[in-house]
Homo-oligomer: A and B are copies of this chain.
């Protein structure tokens, strides 16, 4: 393990240099976080399809338990049980429009991770950094449990558990636990735990701050380790993944209709049904639930005793229990809809549950259709301060405050932006597939998939690290 320990030290130094302002020492969060043997136990897997561009290079890295899809390069990094999902990377020739400039990509975009430590982190989408169009760059960064790095290039950052950076650019920032940031270009910022921040320059700014005492029940750091209800929720279910990861080609546990795809690396328990054009990603968890047509369950989603009527989106890390989603609902990143058998949650059609929303039902809760919901709720009455009809929100102009939420700017731009994004997600996932190539998306493109399973050095100085490995596309040859 000698070389692995050196690599951990090396990454800590790199990140700390970046984070000298705001002053953060990531060492205590990383060192001793995992039993050292864990690095040598789990395998990594690289997905092979005939529809995604291939390229996978890594050197001097430990990548145990990590799933890779698309073009990825990993250098001097530790990726532990993470998901590097490059199925929406920009392609060569694609034209990006930004501030009146049109730039054509000269190469396919590549996810490039160096000098970083990502633990149970999701990396997805393409980068929204117009200065580096061909590279989705993650460097000198530590991110912890169930963080999401979504369309955001990060350099010199520290993401605490359940933090999400979305469609942004982050330099030298510390992002607190369960905070959600979608705020353009950020530099040398410290984001407090439980802040929900959505900002579009010149258009609007949305802010919500979780009350400290509420947030700490769900996620807090204790002796530099994450604890709380959210961590317990994952821990109680992690054994269910063991049989799946023990098989080379896990068996499908469910009937998969035409146009739908269910990852063999998803857990399917009890009586589950998926309809056409549904996508269930690796590391998703379905139990006694029904997903109507065009719905999806992304990485780290848990959908338990719930029903989706159709075209419902569960973004990465969404947890939905004893809930009924009518059509076209959106559940944002890392939201926790914790219904109970006797206190179920009903979400009306077209409603948007903002990222990082906690609905921990102490009584049955019904969300009217076409609502926007955010923050912390446990009773029906809490909707008064934590939700608003989308139409009303769209009418907002100027400054607005409701409970711990503030909004400034043009409401219609915020609502339209969300609606547009949800439509885009459904399209990308192939929710509207009608058999034609134009309407196909991830659900149809990930049906035929095989996996290269990669294991580390089992013993010695190099234990836990992986040999250098590269996978490149086979060029058809004119034999």
A residues neighboring B (CB under 8 Å): 3, 6-7, 9-10, 40, 43, 48-50, 54, 59-60, 76, 245-249, 448-463, 465-477, 479
Residues of B within 8 A of A248 (CB): 43, 245-248, 453
In the complex, are the beta carbons of A468 and B458 less than 8 A apart? no
Residues of B within 8 A of A40 (CB): 450
Residue from the set A10, A465, A469 with the largest chain B CB neighbour count within 10 Å: A469
- Across the interface, do A458 and B9 meet the contact criterion of CB distance under 8 Å? no
Q: Is the CB of B473 within 8 A of A467?
A: yes
Whether A471 and B473, one on each chain, are in contact in the complex, defined by CB atoms closer than 8 angstroms, is no
Interface of A is mostly: loop
Known contacts A467-B473, A469-B470; is-contact A450 B461 (Cβ 8 Å): no
Give chain B residues whose Cβ lies under 8 Å from the Cβ of A60. Answer: 474-475, 477
A1 CB → nearest B CB, Å: 12
CB closest chain-B residue, reference A49: B458
A457 contacts which chain B residues (CB < 8 A)?
A: 48, 50, 450, 474
**What chain B residues lie within 8 Å of A48 (beta carbons)?**
455-458, 467
Contact between B455 and A451, CB atoms less than 8 A apart: yes
- Taking a contact as CB atoms closer than 8 A, the residue among B9, B59, B456, B471 that contacts A467 in the complex is B471
Chain A to chain B: the 4 pairs with minimum beta-carbon distance, closest first: A453-B453, A450-B455, A50-B460, A448-B459
User: Once the chains bind, are B468 and A474 in contact (CB under 8 Å)?
Assistant: yes
Contact of A10 with B471 in the complex, beta carbons under 8 Å? no
State A479–B246 Cα separation when bound (angstroms). 34
Q: Which residue of B lies closest to A450 (CB)?
A: B455
Residues of B with C-beta under 8 A to A465: 474
Instruction: Knowing A60-B477, A453-B452, A479-B9, say if A472 contacts B461 (CB, 8 Å).
Output: no
Give the Cβ gap from A77 to chain B, nearest Cβ, in Å. Answer: 12
Q: Which of B452, B462, B476 contacts A455 (CB 8 A)?
A: B452
Q: Chain B residues near A472: list those with CB within 8 A.
A: 467-469
* Minimal Cβ-Cβ distance residue in B for A466: B474
Q: Which residues of B contact A59 (CB under 8 A)?
A: 474
A45: shortest Cβ distance to chain B, in Å? 9
Specify the chain B residue showing the minimal Cβ separation from A5: B479
Of B247, B454, B455, which is within 8 A of A247 by CB? B247
Q: In angstroms, how far is the closest chain B Cβ from the Cβ of A206? A: 42
A-B contacts, 6 of them at CB < 8 A, read: A6-B479, A50-B460, A245-B248, A452-B454, A457-B474, A467-B473
* C-alpha spacing A459/B450, complex, angstroms: 9
Closest to A462 in B: B474
List of B residues within 8 angstroms of A462 by Cβ: 50, 474, 476
Contact residues in B for A10 (Cβ distance below 8 Å): 479
Indicate if the CB atoms of B468 and A471 lie closer than 8 Å. Answer: yes
Q: Closest residue of chain B to A41, judged by CB?
A: B249
A430 to B479, CA, bound (A): 45
A376 to B337 alpha-carbon distance, docked (Å): 75
Inter-chain contact B458/A449, CB cutoff 8 Å: yes
Across the interface, which residues of B come within 8 angstroms of A451, CB to CB?
A: 453, 455
Residues of B within 8 A of A43 (CB): 248, 453
- A66 to chain B: closest CB distance in Å? 14
Residues of chain B within 8 A (CB-CB) of A247 are 246-248
Residues of B within 8 A of A452 (CB): 452-455, 469
Chain B residues, Cβ within 8 Å of A246: 247-249
A5 vs B215: C-alpha distance when bound (angstroms): 60
B3 near A459: Cβ-Cβ < 8 Å:
no
Q: CA separation between A111 and B275, bound complex, in Å?
A: 50
Chain B hits for A245, CB < 8 A: 248
Shortest distance between the CB of A458 and any CB in chain B (Å): 4
Chain B residues near A50: list those with CB within 8 A. 457-460, 462-463
Within the assembled complex, what's the spacing in Å between the Cα atoms of A468 and B49?
Answer: 14
